Amino acid sequence: MKLVILDDYSQVSEWAAKYVRRRIIDFNPGPNRYFTLGLPTGSTPLGMYKKLIEFHKQNLISFRYVKTFNMDEYVGLAQDHLESYHSFMWNNFFKHIDINPENAHILDGNAANLETECVSFEKKIKDAGGIELFIGGIGPDGHIAFNEPGSSLVSRTRVKTLAQDTIIANARFFGGDVSKVPTEALTVGVGTVMDANEVMILITGAHKAFALHKAIEDGINHMWTVSAFQQHPRTIFICDEDATLELKVKTVKYFKSLMHVHNKLKDDPQ
């Protein structure tokens, strides 16, 4: 596991965007070789998307040969509802870049048969050759995608009922009205993310500090689903100083001493 500790949110965003760019460039995608990216929504990755858009506008990166798979989507929320993850991805990322719409995959929370939709999503990932880099954020309770505490750590894409905390937290996006928040979502499973070649988790803010501690310093526990990635051979956590508040000094010092090594991973190839 790698842990990259940066000063603040904007540095986390830039570092993550540079890392994604570097990974895509190194992969050297083309018409017969697509780079597959797993993508999150939410406030944490917003800054990274903004940076990636900037890079795209400066012609530093193209998404022409990139396929994307989003982690989750609400059930029963209109696709063009401003809070749907379709709208989020369109407004905050897709409309600004050169991705081919055929290559952008998001679970359909309005599908007639939700189970079939989940199975077919897994198949699409498999047909694309699996996910090369899965990017995620986590909730304060350590959930990854909508894999709420208690989710199976080998779960696959499925319908999931949201935890009350998540519903309350998301009410701010629905006019503060808890009753308007969808109660179910389609989400990739922890196992689905585990299958990716690499997992990159962004964690910022003091309110996520305990979750980061649980993710990397405590044991694997389905009550903190993000902890499952302790068993992934290639995981990179990118956090800001605030998110390290619950970590041991020893942990922080160790990873900070590795920064000069980690920084090479996101910089332009020589």
Partner 1 sequence: MFSNAEGKLFQYRNCRILKDHKIYTEDLWVRDGKIVNPEKIFFEEKILADYQIDCKNKILAPGFIETQINGAFGVDFSQEETIVNGGIGKVCKGLLEQGITSFCPTVITSPSLAYKKILPLIKKTKGSKDGAGIIGVHVEGPFISKEKKGAHKEELIQTFDNGFKDVIDMYGDLSNIAIITLAPELHNSQQVIKECVDRGIIVSLGHSMANLTRGEEAIWNGASYVTHLFNAMLPFHHRDPHLVGLLTSNKLPPDTQIYYGIIADGIHTHPAALRIAQRINPKGLVLVTDAIQAMGLPEGKYKFGCQQIEIKDNRATVAGTNTLCGSIVSMDRCVRQLAKSTECGHVLALETASLHPAKVLKISNSKGTLDFDTDADFILLSEDLHVQATFIAGELVWQRSGDVISVISRTD
Show contacts of 84-90: CB within 8 Å, 24+ apart: 84/109, 85/41, 88/41, 89/39, 89/41
For the question of residue 72 being annotated catalytic, the response is: yes
For the question of residue 218 being annotated catalytic, the response is: no
Q: Which of 73, 141, 198, 240 is catalytic?
A: 141
Q: Which of 56, 86, 105, 143 is catalytic?
A: 143
Please name the helix (run of DSSP H) or strand (run of DSSP E) that holds residue 26, with its range, or none: helix 9-27
For the question of residue 141 being annotated catalytic, the response is: yes
The token pair at 135 is 């990017």
Q: Which of 14, 72, 122, 195 is catalytic?
A: 72
The CB-of-65 to partner 1 minimum distance in angstroms stands at 14
Interacting residues with partner 1 between 77 and 96 (CB under 8 A)? 79-80, 86-87, 90-91, 94-95
Q: Which of 14, 122, 148, 195 is catalytic?
A: 148
CA 60, CA 20: separation in Å to the nearest integer? 12
Distances (CA, A) of 122 to 72, 130, 158: 12, 9, 10
Report yes or no: 167 and 160 within 8 Å, Cβ to Cβ.
Answer: no
Closer of 3 and 104 to partner 1 (Cβ): 104
The DSSP bridge partners found for residue 72 are 187
CA 257, CA 259: separation in Å to the nearest integer? 6
The DSSP bridge partners found for residue 138 are 144
Closer of 94 and 210 to partner 1 (Cβ): 94
Total residues binding partner 1 (CB under 8 A): 13
Binding to partner 1 by residue 106, rule CB under 8 A?
Answer: yes
Closer of 102 and 177 to partner 1 (Cβ): 102
Q: String of b and e for 222-251 (b: at least 16 CB within 10 Å)?
A: bebbbbbbeebeebbbbbbbbbbeebeeeb
The CB-of-11 to partner 1 minimum distance in angstroms stands at 26
Report yes or no: 186 and 160 within 8 Å, Cβ to Cβ.
Answer: yes
Closer of 11 and 110 to partner 1 (Cβ): 110
Closer of 101 and 176 to partner 1 (Cβ): 101
Report yes or no: 133 and 202 within 8 Å, Cβ to Cβ.
Answer: no
The CB-of-207 to partner 1 minimum distance in angstroms stands at 31
Distances (CA, A) of 75 to 54, 90, 115: 32, 18, 12
Binding mask 1-40 for partner 1 (x = CB under 8 A): ----------------------------------------
Closer of 22 and 64 to partner 1 (Cβ): 64
The CB-of-34 to partner 1 minimum distance in angstroms stands at 15
The CB-of-90 to partner 1 minimum distance in angstroms stands at 4
Q: Please provide residue 40's backbone torsions phi and psi, each rounded to the nearest 5 degrees.
A: -100, 170
The CB-of-176 to partner 1 minimum distance in angstroms stands at 22
Q: Which of 104, 138, 162, 216 binds partner 1 (CB under 8 A)?
A: 104
Which spans of this chain sit near partner 1 (rule: CB under 8 A)? 79-80, 86-87, 90-91, 94-95, 100-102, 104, 106
Catalytic residues: 72, 141, 143, 148
